[in-house]
């Protein structure tokens, strides 16, 4: 590349019919000034171009970084969403298992309480039946008490003057002797109380 100094120090040979030396020198001076301006402008433009390239690279790098950050954020959001869904599923499954266990325990408890209630009902019924049988047996035993026992009882507790005279015949209504004994015994038991 030709520099302004090359133009300035260039020496031309002289010919017989050559150009006017002063005109050529003044024209060359104009070219030198223009060339120096062009070189300065070219350097400035090259510097501007380098700065723009650096900014473009920074911009591109920043843009790439932004895109990478966005992609990372999207990936992270997808991971968080998937993790939240998995966690929610686990929580739901745990809640279902816990509810199932509580339900099972409640059913077992109800079953045990029902069995216990039935067993107690059976025992109460058995006790009631035994007590009823005992009372019936006692009533039956009392109703079949020997007439001798009643006569002995009357002899011990009734004075001799109150004993009916055997020679005197007293007309009494005909009644059932077993029923009379039962009534007499009931009256006696009531009087003893």
User: Is residue 94 predicted with pLDDT exceeding 90?
Assistant: yes
For 23-34, write each residue's pLDDT tens digit: 888 888 888 888
Q: Tokens 């009357």 belong to which residue? A: 154
Rounded to an integer, the average pLDDT of 4-28 is 78
DSSP H or E stretch at residue 183 = helix 177-192
Rounded to an integer, the average pLDDT of 117-123 is 92
Q: Which of 83-97, 131-145, 146-160 has the highest mean pLDDT?
A: 83-97
- Distance set, CA 93 to CA 87, 99, 100, 101, 105 (Å): 10, 10, 10, 12, 18
* Residue with the larger pLDDT of the pair 32 and 47: 47
Q: What is the band of 171 on the pLDDT scale with cuts at 50, 70, 90?
A: very low
Rounded to an integer, the average pLDDT of 93-105 is 93
Ordered DSSP codes for 48-88? HHHHHHHHHHHHHHHHHHHHHHHHHHHHHHHHHHHHHHHHH
Q: What is the pLDDT, as a whole number, of residue 169?
A: 45
Domain ranges within the chain, ordered by starting residue:
4-10+18-156
Rounded to an integer, the average pLDDT of 154-178 is 56
User: Is residue 42 predicted with pLDDT exceeding 60?
Assistant: yes
The whole-chain average pLDDT of the chain stands at 80
Q: Say if CB 7 and CB 28 are below 8 A apart.
A: yes
Q: Model pTM greater than 0.85?
A: no
Neighbours of 153 (CB within 10 A): 14
Q: Which residues contact 143 (CB under 8 A, 6 or more apart)?
A: 178, 181, 182, 185
For 57-89, write each residue's pLDDT tens digit: 888 888 888 888 999 999 999 999 999 999 999
């Amino acid at each position: 590349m030709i520099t302004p100094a090359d133009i300035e120090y260039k020496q031309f040979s002289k010919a017989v019919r050559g150009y006017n030396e002063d005109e050529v020198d003044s024209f060359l001076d104009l070219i030198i000034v223009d060339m120096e301006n062009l070189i300065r402008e070219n350097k400035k433009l090259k510097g501007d171009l380098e700065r723009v390239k650096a900014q473009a690279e920074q911009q591109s790098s920043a843009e790439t970084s932004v895109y990478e950050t966005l992609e990372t954020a999207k990936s992270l959001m997808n991971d968080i969403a998937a993790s939240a869904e998995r966690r929610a599923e686990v929580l739901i499954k745990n809640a279902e298992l816990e509810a199932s266990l509580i339900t099972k325990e409640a059913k077992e408890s109800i079953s045990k309480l029902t069995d216990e209630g039935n067993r107690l009902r059976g025992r109460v019924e058995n006790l009631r039946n035994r007590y009823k049988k005992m009372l019936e047996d006692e009533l039956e035993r009392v109703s079949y008490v020997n007439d001798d026992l009643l006569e002995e009882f009357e002899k011990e507790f009734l004075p001799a003057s109150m004993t009916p005279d055997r020679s005197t015949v007293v007309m009494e209504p005909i009644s059932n002797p077993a029923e009379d004994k039962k009534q007499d015994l009931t009256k006696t038991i009531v009087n003893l109380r």
